[in-house]
Amino acid sequence: MAKKDKKVLIRIENLKKYFPIKKSSVFQKELLYVRANDDITLDIYEGETLGLVGESGCGKSTLGRTLLQLYDQTDGRTIYYGYDIDELAPRYVMEILESLGEKYKELGELKEKEETAFKAYESKPDGDEKYQALERYRAAEKEYRTLFLDLSQIVGGLLVAENLDSVSKTLLKEYQVSVEAVKLRKLINEENVILDGIKSQLEEKGKTASEIEKDTENDVNKITAYEENLRKIEGELSSIQNEIDGLRNRYKDHSDFEKYEKHRDKGINLAKLTVEEMRFLRKDLQLIFQDPYSSLNPRLTVGQIISEGLYAHRVFAKTDKNITDYILDTMDSCGLAPYFVHRYPHQFSGGQRQRIGIARSVALQPNFIVCDEAVSALDVSIQSQIINLLLDLKEKENLTYLFISHDLSVIKYISDRVGVMYLGNIVELAATAELYSHPMHPYTEALLSAIPTTDVTEDKKEIYILEGDVPSPIKPPSGCKFHTRCKYATEICTKVVPAWEEARPGHFVACHHKLNGKED
């Protein structure tokens, strides 16, 4: 896929996840944190498998869970493009629109702060003070950029519009109406699910829709009531839609709004959603766990395990008999025989249980799945079957994976691109073949040199043994976190955090002394 054809599904910017640690005594002044994810920036493209590799404890599982918002994100943005912001109408957009004037002023102040910090950095002579000034400038630049991105995502080209005030008022009005429309649409969906359930229950009893009308009066009344209610809600929705169209028509010719529409980013910042809003998107964003033994409820049958999510997300009503066929189809696509439907998890092998876990996730028709060490607990012979199943499903359902593993061979086999993590940071990211043949970060080089090989034709490669333990994520080393174990480290590495840069097209790395990459 050429770079320009790729569509970003999830954009992660400066993501941080810190876990606070309880104070060990009342005299301890400083609150300490485990810095599990520290300033991670990357794009995940639609339809790709992005592998994430690193030693245990490097923060890869935390990243998978944080971007799914299973952990609260400490800082940064996680923008999801699989759902339209207008369809969700999240509350945070309203908050930004309401305080647009103040935010715009704050943006100007942060810009000034950034420029001052840059001048201070430039004026310092080489040495420690310059390093510190650089860190201060980077912090100021990040603060400005974060607010700029937050605002520009919502109001897009309005940041360059002259008449910001009047335009933002109209936008706010439109947004308030849109929020109402979204509520009604949700209600219509829910009513439809219930209605389908009642109809399917009646059809199950052997009655067609026309027979139903003549038949049980109670059932007919129930359906009529739901249908009437639906018509009423649809009527309300259409008058709201007219109101929105009216507002839009009023500003259609306004040049500022043209800029607004053109520069508008319709992604949803998952980190800013309310619990309720995130619950709605949960269906789209799934997780497959490492341990197929503990991730399945032992008291539920396979059918119940798969149906739980379908009911919770109102894909089916409790009364809808069509769910059985749907579950059997999903099981079939995951290589599970239909007669397994009434069995319990303990009656299955590890590989089969992992298939059940996968079926539970894909039944919801997600866009994106985090596979967290999804094959690590399985026998090697079973691993390849599960990997092939995941690849088949990805192809069929157009899924996108974040595949987390400590196993470099598994990652190489399944991934289109690979990110390498060390102590909470992604230190290198590139297309799989590029990364494995031309590593540019010393840590990647060390990891790759340690992969055992059975290929006798391969030249004896130099094995780079990683010395020392992984430092503590509570007080990580200053500058480049890898400097305590890196054989190429120099003074600057101990003082300045290396910038995350695109060293070659699509090949990102954070290192002051990038390796050129060995030729094949």
Q: Which residues bind ligand SF4 (CB under 6 A)?
A: 441-442, 480, 482-483, 486, 488-489, 493, 498, 511-513
10 Å Cβ neighbour count for 32? 15
Give the nearer residue to ligand SF4 in terms of CB position, either 378 or 511: 511
The 8-class DSSP code of residue 44 comes to E
Rounded distance between C-alpha atoms, residue 49 and residue 467, angstroms? 31
Give the nearer residue to ligand SF4 in terms of CB position, either 154 or 480: 480
Give the nearer residue to ligand SF4 in terms of CB position, either 441 or 507: 441
Rounded distance between C-alpha atoms, residue 497 and residue 251, angstroms? 47
Give me the phi and psi of 283, to 5 degrees please: -60, -40
Give the nearer residue to ligand SF4 in terms of CB position, either 319 or 478: 478
Residues in the chain: 520
Residue 481 CB, shortest distance to ligand SF4, in Å, is 8
The 8-class DSSP code of residue 91 comes to H
The 8-class DSSP code of residue 125 comes to P
Residue 374 CB, shortest distance to ligand SF4, in Å, is 30
Residue 422 CB, shortest distance to ligand SF4, in Å, is 9
Give the nearer residue to ligand SF4 in terms of CB position, either 176 or 472: 472
Give the nearer residue to ligand SF4 in terms of CB position, either 369 or 446: 446
DSSP, collapsed to helix, strand or coil, labels residue 53 as strand
Give the nearer residue to ligand SF4 in terms of CB position, either 272 or 438: 438
Residue 487 CB, shortest distance to ligand SF4, in Å, is 8
Give the nearer residue to ligand SF4 in terms of CB position, either 344 or 488: 488
Give the nearer residue to ligand SF4 in terms of CB position, either 279 or 487: 487
DSSP string, 309-353: HHHHTTSS-TT-TTHHHHHHHHHHHTT--GGGGG--GGGS-HHHH
Q: Are 186 and 131 in contact (CB under 8 A)?
A: no
The candidate with the shortest Cα–Cα distance to 480, out of 508, 507, 512, is 512
What separation in angstroms does the CA of 173 have from each of 83, 154, 177, 314, 472? 22, 14, 6, 31, 50
Give the nearer residue to ligand SF4 in terms of CB position, either 436 or 488: 488
Rounded distance between C-alpha atoms, residue 10 and residue 40, angstroms? 13
Residue 497 CB, shortest distance to ligand SF4, in Å, is 9
Give the nearer residue to ligand SF4 in terms of CB position, either 187 or 515: 515
Rounded distance between C-alpha atoms, residue 91 and residue 324, angstroms? 37
Residue 426 CB, shortest distance to ligand SF4, in Å, is 13
Give the nearer residue to ligand SF4 in terms of CB position, either 370 or 509: 509
Sign of the Cα torsion 56, 62, 68, 71 reads: positive
Q: Can you give the three-state secondary structure of 441-499, one letter per residue?
A: CHHHHHHHHCCCCCCCCCCCCCCCCCCCCCCCCCCCCCCCCCCCCCCCCCHHHHHCCCC
Give the nearer residue to ligand SF4 in terms of CB position, either 280 or 482: 482
90 CB-near residues (< 8 Å, 6+ apart): 268, 269, 272, 273, 274, 277
Sign of the Cα torsion 308, 314, 318, 321 reads: negative
Q: Are 121 and 141 in contact (CB under 8 A)?
A: no
- What one-letter code names the amino acid at 427? V
The candidate with the shortest Cα–Cα distance to 134, out of 510, 488, 490, 142, is 142
Residue 510 CB, shortest distance to ligand SF4, in Å, is 7
Decide: residue 296, CB within 10 A, 0-12 exposed, 13-18 middle, 19+ buried.
Answer: buried
